[in-house]
Amino acid sequence: MYLGFSLCAALLIGALVFTAPVISSTITFFDKIVIASVFIVCCLVGISFTISPNWVRRYRSQKTIQEKNQTNKENRLFRGHHPDCPVFQNHTLQWRNKTWCAGCLGLLIGLCASILFMILYLFTNFTHPKMIAFLLIFLGLFICMVVFLEVISRNNPPLVHVFTNSLVIPSFFFITVSVVDLTGKTVYGLFTILLCFLWLDTRIQLSGWRHRTVCRQCPESCKMYVVNAER
């Protein structure tokens, strides 16, 4: 379902840039401020989630969390946002004596890089042919497709997972600024940012599906992802 929605969003972007009349070929500085501010705020929120994915849910009592854990036959610690289970070793990596989630680390890198890209976009007056903008949109959508395929694939090394996920948010940057440049309308850029949330959520849902699949096939009895998903 999410993949279907993501495909519809990609087609909608194509229809947007090919049919929307361009009012002005020059984006005003105020338009850039609006787009950059919204995009950067979204990136900052995303950074907080890569560091602590469940911080929004902390209003739930510790007792409820403990009750969930007691339903597992074997309690496990979470390291790098994953159970310390051998089947999830390819999902994490060690750096500076700390366990990192490969996907979240990649997203963190991409988020920080995209903030820098947006700042450069805001304060530079770089112009490029329309064909380049169309190619950047195609590149961004292609990156999203590659990331979706990589997320559901098996046994990729952690560094590959880091690299592909580091491209996700920059691809959103390419698509957003290209849509604004091609249409000349800030509202289309804001709408594109909303669609980027859909693509990001699709990546998260695919990752969750992959985790549950790995967990079900694991011979261990803890079944961390399966139990939590069924409750």
pTM value? 0.85
- Domain residue spans of the chain: 2-230
- Give the C-alpha separation, 107 to 49, whole Å: 10
- Give the C-alpha separation, 196 to 190, whole Å: 10
SS (H, E, C) the chain: CHHHHHHHHHHHHHHHHHHCCCCCCCCCHHHHHHHHHHHHHHHHHHHHHHHCCCHHHHHCCHHHHHHHHHCCCCCCCEECCEECCHHHHHHEEEECCEEEEHHHHHHHHHHHHHHHHHHHHHHCCCCCCHHHHHHHHHHHHHHHHHHHHHHHCCCCCHHHHHHHHHCHHHHHHHHHHHHHHHHCCHHHHHHHHHHHHHHHHHHHHHHHHHHHHHHHHCCCCCCHHHHHHHC
Residue 55 is predicted with a pLDDT of: 65
- Give the C-alpha separation, 138 to 10, whole Å: 9
Residue 56 is predicted with a pLDDT of: 61
* Sequence letter at residue 146: V
Residue 62 is predicted with a pLDDT of: 43
Residue 76 is predicted with a pLDDT of: 67
Q: Return averaged pLDDT per consecutive 10 residues of the chain, 231 residues in all.
A: 88 87 69 95 94 64 44 60 77 80 92 96 82 93 94 83 95 95 91 96 90 80 63 43
Residue 227 is predicted with a pLDDT of: 54
Assess contact for 95 and 148: CB atoms under 8 A: no
